[in-house]
Chains A and B, each alone.
Chain A
Amino acid sequence: MNCILKAKNLYFSYSKESVLEDVSFCVEERDFFAITGPNGGGKSTLIKIILGILKPQKGGVSIDSSLDRNIDFGYVPQNTNINLEFPITVLDVVLMGNGSKHKSKRGLLSIKYSKLEIECAKHSLKKVGMENYLNNKISDLSGGQRQRVMIARAICSHPKILILDEPTSSIDINGQKEIYKLLKDLNKELTIIVVTHDLKVISNYADKVLYINRKGYMHNLDDNRFKLDRDGHFCEVELMQMLGAKDA
């Protein structure tokens, strides 16, 4: 296996409470890698360790030597409804995602972005279908639209890995479908790691799923064992059984 991101025997705890125990997994290039599990199971903590915001007490995450976290990791945070009143336009939010690749020389008193940076941001917005909202205030958008803008910000630096923490938690059903269609599309070019509770998403889009409840249980979805039941959903217990997480 050629892992571009690999976790080995990861342990993490907040003061005394153990959050992650002996978690190992491997993400390969162009994977659609889903992370799921109960609330408080350690999903967001794991994402923060992957991003380098938190440091594990034992074990670690290694990334391919060709990758630079500042440029090659695109991140869409969990709650994108923070700071809703903030006076900022869609274009300015996306421009924030610019990696140092495009950092132009700036004058002492110039707050302007270079043409190249703006073109790049517009290109990202086009990819997520938000090119007509450039100058809208971020607070005027719907939840789904705002999430697209956050994805545009994350792909603005042309990352190799896109990491999303529950990207559809505050969006209506139609918006959710569109976000995942978009992610599937982006998956042609980059690796996707997504935290989600939505088992439909896992079965329809993901190639690998990691179930996290303090311990991690990996499952490869290539072998078609993982299918929806007749009602079109499954419950978490069944998922855990499939993944062999009997003690969870």
Chain B
Amino acid sequence: MLDILQYTFIQNALLSAVLVSIISGFIGSLILVNKMTFLTGGIAHSSYGGIGLAIYFGLPIFFGASVFAVVSAILIALISFKQRHRIDIFIGLIWAVGMAIGIVFIDLTPGYNVDLMSYLFGSILAVSKSDLIFMAILLVVILIFTHRYYREILAISYDSEYATLRGINAKGFFVAILVLSALAVVVAIKVVGLILVIALMTIPTYIAELSSKSLYGMMIKSAIYSTIFSVSGLIVSYLFDITSGASIILIAATSLIIFLLFRRIKR
């Protein structure tokens, strides 16, 4: 089995799985403690609009998806400041409208028959070198952001009203977290696809949260769990010839169930 490691596309796949896992460990933790899971789901799906536009105008797909996702994230953030209690409506709206835009523009693209499935469920074996560079840069930005502003992030996540009173710009950090989440979602689409991206962001982080005493510990642990799930999912998908995104998520979900059962027994 080890001889497959000599293929570049397998090396790229493994490397991207690790990079995306660390990204989703850090960002997923912030999403979970800020209760933004559904919000991120909306952004993930709306980014399909960016994919469609990028294909129609012949732009790099990562670029199109990123811009679209970031704009959706900022839009949702601004709406949530005004309409906190009705935000679910707008998330649903962005979720569906984004996808609709993507489908329409792909339909309009002449002679191009895009494989929708590869965006819905990921296409980890098609990761290119430039994809890897994009992932690595995003990881570095996320690591600097979460370390440099750890206190501020901790304060606004735990109690944003109190953080505001202490002079922290809670809204600014909320927008920053959402924008980074949007970019994290875009790179994770490559690995697990936009339908499964939420599971990758939440399952390892939820396991980590239950066993952590600090937000930082939670981020480190979920990055590790995430890496284990995605690398083993990749191996399983190779051995049984199944879709990698789905096998990664099923391994993560099974682990969550086992973890919860053990917790129950221990009590």
Contact = CB atoms under 8 A, between A and B. Distances in A.
A88 B215 contact: yes
Contacts of A83: 33, 158-159
Interface stretch (B70-78, B104-112, B146-154): B146-154
Given A108-B148, A109-B144, A137-B213, A70 B167 contact: yes
Given A70-B165, A73-B165, A83-B158, A135 B147 contact: no
Contact of B166 (A88, A96, A106, A111): A96
Interface in A77-96: 77, 82-83, 85-89, 92-93, 95-96
A110 interface: yes
Contacts of A53: 161, 164-165
A111 B167 contact: no
A11 interface: no
Interface in B208-222: 209, 212-218
A95 B214 CA distance: 13
A75 interface: yes
Q: Which of A93, A96, A110 has the most CB of B within 10 A?
A: A96
B36 interface: no
Interface of A: 51-53, 69-70, 73, 75, 77, 82-83, 85-89, 92-93, 95-97, 99-100, 106, 108-111, 113, 135, 137, 153
Given A70-B166, A85-B209, A86-B158, 17 more contacts: A53-B161, A70-B167, A83-B33, A83-B158, A87-B212, A87-B213, A87-B214, A88-B215, A92-B154, A95-B151, A96-B154, A96-B158, A97-B166, A108-B147, A109-B144, A109-B148, A113-B151
Interface of B: 33, 143-144, 147-148, 150-151, 154-155, 157-159, 161-167, 209, 212-218
